[in-house]
Amino acid sequence: MQKDEEGEYLIPAIRQRPVLLIGAPGIGKTAIMEQAARECNIGLVAYTMTHHTRQSAMGLPFISKKMYGGEEKSVTEYTMSEIIAAVYDRMESTGLKEGILFIDEINCVSETLAPVMLQFLQGKSFGNAKVPAGWIIAAAGNPAEYNRSVREFDVVTLDRVKMINVEPDYDVWREYARMQGIHGAIVSYLDARRDNFYKIETTVDGKHFVTARGWEDLSCLIYAYERLGLAVDKEIVGEYICDPATATDFANYLELYYVYEKTYNMESIFAGHADPMLNRRLSEAPFDEKVSVISILLGRLSRGFRDYAILENTVDNVFDALKTFRKNMQTADRPPISIFADIIQSVNAAYTRKKEAGLYASDDDKSMVKTINVLEEMSRKLAGDGTADAGSAFELVRTEFEQLNGQREKMCDRVSAELNNTYAFVENAFGESPQLVLFTTELAAGSHSMHFIEENGCDAFYRNNKGLIRA
């Protein structure tokens, strides 16, 4: 989507081949498109073609009159395709003129839709409606062995697309899991049992399958159940991991994971009051137990790093809003509460626009929600105070901001203490060992952990990471 000096695309539209992702179900094809759109700051319109008819894809027919050779004739025309109309709607609602039109399950359409899909891939249009300039086409489908409805594309079509075969790759998903905050029990389990990451098998009892989507959805459920104090048993796991052997194995592992969490009294470790007897027990524990404990410690620290990043972004967002507030009060002849209301409205509009465009990662979305909540609370304080003086109004919101920043500083101190205390425990329990290397390596690989350490320091991390580099 790069342009030359004249503003023309380096690859002309006629030479822009649609991307065709072919991969097994639940492997993350849609997530790839969502991440690409978010990182490129462009729009995304996604459709699953198995939910559509020929009429919704091409548009509805209607009769119009045209002159041919001096005679009026009735001809059939079509309304705009629902899919193309959705692209224009997204452009209007988000202000994004470039984006990705993503068509999922494109090779599983009905017989009546198959020619329409071929025309779409070959001519970048539905009926007489072309895909708007600046929007690229991406499509996804399943291999024939996973779906009986699959229709093979002919050579003419394949010669007009860039086909990419997407295969399960645990190492790649592991990086994604770290960014998404996938539950530590799932990550440590799959680290030890990689073969259980993704599988689809046909047995005498039917299809048994485990997918990346299933693990991510299960992670969300585990977090929710932990918050509600509910147990995650084999039956619950089996609703997401549809392979009885894997579901049972993970449910047993998760139960043991929670046993380790209680046995080693994690709160005392984070507080710096770990029982010396635990050091000895852990140093003599089986390898799997050691790895599980490291995973539990990393999971707790990761949540702290993530929560701090969200609060830090919130503080930065509120600070920017207050700078705008002070600047606008110097030029606008209106009550401070009215000026502040306009700022909240502007922040809200920008948030809604970007959220609708799918441009927020989960953490950014949370920080924006917190930002709006803080600004609205400040607005209520301004309204309750009733001051019309600019200086007094700014002093009030500045005081509120200092309280927010104080929360950030307290959280920073708490997370720093937990990091240092955990490092001390790991060093005492393991010494120079693979477990200490694992602990340091995982911290070095995490974006939130490294951001925190770079800003606030950690002598134990620097010491151990330097040793890894030398090694």
Residues 179, 184, 188, 189: is their CA dihedral positive or negative? negative
Nearest to 196 by CA among 173, 223, 179, 221: 173
pLDDT at 322: 96
Q: State the pLDDT confidence band at 359, using cuts at 50, 70 and 90.
A: confident
pLDDT at 12: 78
Mode of pairing for the β-strands spanning 99-104 and 135-141: parallel
Structural domain includes residue 53: yes
Number of domains in the chain: 1
* Selection from 294, 309, 305 nearest residue 187 by Cα: 294
- CA 437/CA 419 separation, integer angstroms: 15
Question: In this predicted model, what pLDDT tens digit does every residue of 216-225 receive, in sequence order?
Answer: 999 999 999 9
Amino acid in position 258: Y
Residue 51 lies in a domain: yes
Dump the DSSP string for 264-290: TTHHHHHHT---HHHHHHHHTS-HHHH
Q: What is the C-alpha separation between 126 and 121, in angstroms, rounded?
A: 9
With 90 as the cut, is the pLDDT of residue 467 above it? no
Q: How far, CA to CA in Å, does 217 sit from each of 36, 48, 220?
A: 21, 20, 5
Q: For 313-324, give one letter per residue: b (16+ CB within 10 A) or e.
A: bbbebbeebbeb
Q: Which residues pair with 77 in a beta bridge?
A: 62
Three-class secondary structure of residue 63 per DSSP: strand
- Let me know if residue 104 belongs to a domain: yes
**How far is 240 from 251, CA to CA, in rounded Å?**
12
Does residue 463 sit within a domain?
no
Calculate ∠ Cα 220-139-175, nearest 5°: 40
Cβ–Cβ < 8 Å for 200, 55 = no
Q: How confident is the model at residue 471 (pLDDT cuts 50, 70, 90)?
A: very low
**% of the chain exceeding 90 in pLDDT:** 53
pLDDT in tens, 242-294: 999 999 999 999 999 999 999 999 999 999 998 888 888 888 889 889 999 99
Answer for the pair 7, 20: CB distance below 8 angstroms, yes or no. Answer: no
Is pLDDT larger for residue 94 or for residue 471?
94
222-249: average pLDDT: 95
- Could you tell me if residue 326 is inside a domain? no
Alpha helices in 102-158 (DSSP H): 114-123, 155-158
Cα separation of 211 and 240, whole Å?
9
Which residues make Cβ contacts (< 8 Å) with residue 79, sequence separation at least 6?
A: 59, 60, 62
Average pLDDT in the 129-149 region? 86
How many residues make up the chain in this entry? 471
CA atoms of 78 and 130, how far apart (whole Å): 13
Q: What is the pLDDT of residues 362-374, one digit of tens each?
A: 889 999 999 999 9
Domain boundaries, position 38:
15-57+85-167
Return the SS3 of 215: helix
Whether residue 56 is predicted with pLDDT greater than 80 in this model: the reply is: no
* DSSP string of 352-370, one letter each residue: HHHHHTT---HHHHHHHHH
Residue 53: which CATH number? Answer: 3.40.50.300
Count the alpha carbons within 13 Å of 210 in the hemisphere toward its beta carbon.
Answer: 23
Q: What is the pLDDT of residue 330?
A: 87
**Across residues 166-172, what is the average pLDDT?**
92
Q: Assess if residue 220 is contained within a domain.
A: no
Q: Which of 301, 282, 262, 222 is nearest to 429 (CA)?
A: 282
Kindly report the backbone phi and psi dihedral angles of residue 132, in degrees, each rounded to the nearest multiple of 5, phi listed first: -55, 150
pLDDT exceeds 90 at position 431: no
In a domain, 73, yes or no: no
- The encoded tokens of residue 87 equal 């692209």
191 inside domain: no
* 313 CB-near residues (< 8 Å, 6+ apart): 363, 364, 367, 371
Share of the chain above pLDDT 70, in %: 99
Q: Within 10 A of 327 (CB to CB), how many other CB atoms are there? A: 11
Give the number of C-alpha atoms closer than 13 A to the C-alpha of residue 137, restricted to the C-beta side. Answer: 30
DSSP assignment, residue 140?
E
Region 143-151: mean pLDDT is 79
